[in-house]
Structures are given as C-alpha cells and as structure tokens.
Amino acid sequence: MVNNIENRILENDKRAAARLITMLENKDPEGFRILKSVYAKGGNAYVIGITGPPGAGKSTLTDKLVKAYRKKGKRIAIVAVDPTSPFTGGAILGDRVRMNDLNTDKDVFIRSMGARGHLGGISEATSAAVKVLDIFGSDIIFIETVGVGQSEIDIVKNCDTTIMVMVPGLGDDIQAIKAGVMEIGDVFAVNKADRDGSARTAREIEMMLDFNKTLAWRPPVKMVVATENKGVDELVEAIEAHREHMLTSGAFTTRRIQNAKSEVVSLIKERIEQSILDNAHNEDKLSTFSKEIVSRALDPYTVVERLYEEIKDTIHIK
C-alpha cells in the first residue's frame, strides 16, 4: 500500500505520484478526492504535446528533446500513450524502449498509459496524469500521443505547445491542406530529414501554413534527424519562441481557460453518458432494444428518445 499520498506527492515522492495516476486511470473516487485536495498547488508546469503518425519518431524525438531540456536543468515528466486492444483491453506500452537513457535520471519521470478505448490520441486519464505530474513538481511535461491519423486532436486541449512530427513520403500536398491534425501544430518537425522527399514535405507544410495569413503565430517548420540528434537544438529554440509568444501575447492564459472549459464539458458528457448507459444496461434494456432495432420493431431514434426520457429528470437537462 502507498499511504499518505497527498503529503508525499508534494515532497516529490515518485511512488506516490505513480500510485495516484493509477488510481485516476482506474476512476477510483479516492484518487479524485486526493487530486482535488492538492489541485491548487499545481499550475507551474509548461505542457508540450508531441503528436504525429505511427513510426514518425515521436518517442525518439521526445527522448532527444528531454535531454536538451535536462541540460537547462529542468525537471521533466513524460506521459506516453500507446493504443489499447479494443478486443482484450490489453496493451503493449513500448515508448520507454526509445527512452532508456532517461531511465536513471532522477529528475525525469516517465509514465506509459494505454489509450483504454479513448479515440482522440490520448487516454481519458491523460489530463489527470498531467495534473499529478505538475503538482509533483515537474517544470516541463511532455505528452506523447498514440500514432495519429487525420483527426485525433485532443492533444491540443491538453497542452500549451503542440509539436506536429511529420515524415517524408506520407502523401502529396492535398494531405497537407486537409482539416484535422495538420491544423493543430504550433511547431512542425519534419523528422527523418536525411531521407528523400523531406525538403518537399517541409515545403508543402510551409505552403499550407502560408494560406492562412491571419495567424498571430506562424508555426515554424524544422528539419530534424532524431536518431542522430540533428536539428534538435533548433527545434528547442522554436518551442521556446512559441512559449515566449504564448506568454507575452496572453494566448497562454486564453488557451488554458479554453482548455479548462472543454475539459469541464467533456467531464459532464462523460458523467451523463455514464448515467444513460447505467440506466440502459439496467435489466439489459439496451440488448432488448437493440434486438428490436434489428428486427425493425423499433428504430434507433425512438430508442434514444425513450432512454433519454427515462433519465432526463434525474440529471435535470433542459
């Protein structure tokens, strides 16, 4: 057992922080009670999101960025999210493989999380884990998403600077102008820049960014070779420039308020969803209804209205 978590976490106790994250991941009410009691102590960490397609080099780049920030004496935490099997609920969390050197640095805390059914690129508990690691005393927290496709943009609601990691050869310039993940980068890193096509990839991203003339911050595009630590210092400079912009323009606070808003909305949604589902699963109503939908005795819209009517009064929705 790990006792007295609320005091120990303020004393930079790793075991307490690790256990609290587990409790929050498992939706243990005691975990939320503890987090509420220490929440006011947080707010000091700067949060950097790292996202990009699978195999783009997010973990390797995170490893190199963390080393660069460690040279500046910063205390670092990393939350690395990997996919959970939709069939068994199991997961292989392998981001630590690329971060082995960081493992014995006492000022680096790495936590791997399974996405556990959440589809936005991070897990439901990621934002809670970030709060814990902030209160625990980290200066900078990196969130590494699962490998993303085109629309997993939850990361942006959880961080102050988003780094979009791209690699050459993923598609033509029409990919770069689609909506979704390409719109959320504050800094773009073209990794594996020693490969053919990297200059073209960078150019296509630049052109995509140039379409939008109204941006207060024009995201820079940096070429890196993470495995060889090339271009990492320049990438750090670009991140620092964005951080400076966020802090001086007031965008930092605006974004955090926006993020708090969207967090509250999603927590409300989650709670309402849970009460609807708890009710629907009661006496296996949902299975019965579903069979009737398939046999055309009912339609899904009528089922939704019935289930909604049943719980409406208990949660006071207008």
Partner 1 sequence: MERPIRVLVAKPGLDGHDRGAKVIARALRDAGMEVIYTGLRQTAEQIVNAAIQEDVDCVALSILSGAHNTLLPKVVELLRGEGADDILVIGGGVIPGEDIPFLKEKGIKEIFTPGTPTQVTIDFIRGNVNR
| Contact predicate 54/92, CB 8 Å | no
92 binds partner 1 (CB under 8 A): yes
271's tokens: 């709670």
Least Cβ distance, residue 97 to partner 1 (angstroms): 4
Question: Three-state DSSP class for 53?
Answer: coil
Interaction pattern, residues 99-118, with partner 1; x per rule: CB under 8 A: -x--xx----xxxx-x----
Q: Which amino acid is at 113?
A: M
Please tell me the distance from the alpha carbon of residue 53 to that of residue 166, in angstroms, as a whole number.
Answer: 7
241 binds partner 1 (CB under 8 A): no
Comparison of 88 and 314: residue with beta carbon closer to partner 1: 88
Of 96, 200, 203, 255, the residue at the interface with partner 1 (CB under 8 A) is: 96
Find, among 203, 201, 178, 181, the residue nearest to 191 by Cα. 201
Please tell me the distance from the alpha carbon of residue 222 to that of residue 216, in angstroms, as a whole number.
Answer: 19
75 binds partner 1 (CB under 8 A): no
Which residues, 285 to 314, sit near partner 1 by CB under 8 A?
none
> Roughly what angle, to the nearest 10 degrees, separates helices 251-281 and 285-294?
80
Least Cβ distance, residue 208 to partner 1 (angstroms): 36
| Contact predicate 165/199, CB 8 Å | no
Of 6, 10, 12, 22, the residue at the interface with partner 1 (CB under 8 A) is: 22
Least Cβ distance, residue 84 to partner 1 (angstroms): 8
What is the number of residues in the chain?
Answer: 318
Residues paired with residue 109 on neighbouring β-strands, in sequence order: 77
Least Cβ distance, residue 5 to partner 1 (angstroms): 12
Number of residues forming the site for partner 1 (CB under 8 A): 30
Comparison of 37 and 85: residue with beta carbon closer to partner 1: 85
Least Cβ distance, residue 107 to partner 1 (angstroms): 12
240's tokens: 């620092």
Interaction pattern, residues 33-72, with partner 1; x per rule: CB under 8 A: ----------------------------------------
Using the CB atoms, write b or e for 48-59: b if 16+ within 10 Å: bbbbbbeebbbb
Binding site for partner 1 (CB under 8 A): 1, 14-15, 18-19, 21-22, 25-28, 84-85, 88-94, 96-97, 100, 103-104, 109-112, 114
